[in-house]
Structure 1
Amino acid sequence: MTRAMQLGKEKHALALQCAEAKLGELIPGRFSREQRYRYDPQTGQKQLVSREEARTLLQQGCGDELEGTIVPDIVIHSGNPLEALAVYDFKFPCPDTNKPTWREYEKGPFAGSTQGKIYLEILKVGPNLIAPIRGIIRWLESQK
């Protein structure tokens, strides 16, 4: 792992802690941090995957069962994590002056699409990027 990658990882962890603390004060019980969602494209149904379930699958060597799941950084919801109202993903480009972008999936069921497009398809709300210097970049703006 490069130093830049390590710094990005540390910034990401700190941003998540900060967001969780503030949202916990403002809208307790109406947001999720790094909630994993499983999606069935044939039925259009989504379901929550707990951290414990994901950890168990990985420990049992069944990580492939997590393929096709998504893990947005922050989801604001109605009180039910399956009813997303807003979605946010932190991005830490290096250097900070680089434009943040949605990661493109190279393989798996989402290959050729971006994180943002998949979040929109599954969660039914335009996701937003959050980046240093630039702040919140709304979905439509992130597509330019």
Structure 2
Amino acid sequence: MWSLVILTVLQAGCLLEAELAEVTGECGPRDLTPECCLKQHPGQWERCTGSSEMVEVTGRSTSLGMKALATGMAVATVAMKPQINSAERRGVELAADLLAKVEKAITKCVRQADQYVNDYHFNGKSPDREICEQIKVGEKTTWAAYLGLFKHEQAWPCLREALNKLIPPDRYRLYPRFQFNEKKGQWEYMDENTVSQIVSAQGWKGLTGTIEPDIILLDKNGVIVRVYDLKFPCPETNSAYWSRYTKGRWMDQSQGDLYFHALQVKPILVSPRQGIIRED
């Protein structure tokens, strides 16, 4: 477990990087991991989140999957390598009743994470539009982006525990990363060692152009059969949607379209209010 230190809870308004650097102390029982990391390493937003400035699509794509690596936590290695769906190796879907249980568990964890973080920061209330649009850290990290990061973080332990009760650990991945192999002209799964080596040698910028859905489900042969991405709209009355990349190689492409093109499985959105969102 990461070393923990507490971050002062603000009920409203903004917290600037300069203020982060002044806060020290030890964690309490309700602390959130990235916030505690920021307390232990004041001002080191990139180290604790994987991004110097979190942006809705491009920022999270380089942050959430790197939580463990950002603080030196060992990442468990699973033997079966995810295989991208194709006509040659079409994946076998989970049984309908099992899939229903899995998706119910995912939705439950998403809703619990959403409620916990709102309780933590806003005494049980959901932030309104004005707060969501306020800058929380740095020059462009809004409360909406900041809360989204921590809600994802809060969901991971719940998801792992819930999914382990329903399917074998090698039949799913949380925040897997994929890159496009220029020589082969195809997308490939990046194992944790490869990601770690790239970050060590090139920093977080070395992962530019890679993608990282939140959850994938695999069949018994390791073929990807389901892809899920968690969204935490702020304010909660907003509908979850696929954002578009605002820079880089995939600029102007929809995140959902890119996931589909890369993994050959139609991705599914999950949000606290809407649950599993199936699009036609």
Shorter chain as denominator, the TM-score bin is: 0.7 to 0.9
> Counterparts of 1:9 and 1:69 in 2: how far apart (Å)?
18
* Amino acid paired to 1:71: E
Residue range with higher mean Cα deviation, 128-137 or 42-51: 42-51
> Counterparts of 1:75 and 1:12 in 2: how far apart (Å)?
15
Please state if 1:127 is matched with 2:260: no
> Counterparts of 1:104 and 1:17 in 2: how far apart (Å)?
28
Partner of 1:69: 210
> Number of matched residues?
139
What 5-or-longer segments of structure 1 have no aligned partner? none
CA deviation vs aligned residue, 1:78-97 (integer Å, no higher than 9, x gap): 1455x210100000010111
What 5-or-longer segments of structure 2 have no aligned partner? 1-136
Partner of 2:231: 91
Aligned partners of 1:127 and 1:139 also within 8 Å = no
Partner of 1:110: 250
Question: Could you say what secondary structure the match of 1:87 adopts?
Answer: strand
CA deviation vs aligned residue, 1:8-61 (integer Å, no higher than 9, x gap): 222111222222211111111110111101123774522221233223212222
Which of the two has higher C-alpha Rg? Answer: 2
Aligned partners of 2:144 and 2:233 also within 8 Å = no
Partner of 1:14: 154
**Cα distance 1:139–1:79, how it changes in 2: closer, same or farther (>3 A)?**
farther
CA deviation vs aligned residue, 1:57-79 (integer Å, no higher than 9, x gap): 12222544422211100000114
Displacement of 1:7: 2.4
Matched-pair identity in %: 36
TM-score (norm: length of structure 2): 0.46
**Cα distance 1:80–1:107, how it changes in 2: closer, same or farther (>3 A)?**
farther
* Amino acid paired to 2:163: L
Please state if 1:78 is matched with 2:219: yes
> Counterparts of 1:126 and 1:93 in 2: how far apart (Å)?
21
Partner of 2:167: 27
The structure 1 residue matched to 2:190, chosen from 34, 49, 52, is: 49
Q: CA RMSD in A?
A: 2.0
Aligned partners of 1:34 and 1:74 also within 8 Å = yes
Please state if 1:39 is matched with 2:180: yes
Question: Could you say what secondary structure the match of 1:23 adopts?
Answer: helix
**Cα distance 1:107–1:130, how it changes in 2: closer, same or farther (>3 A)?**
same
CA deviation vs aligned residue, 1:103-125 (integer Å, no higher than 9, x gap): 21112221111110000001111
* Amino acid paired to 1:116: G
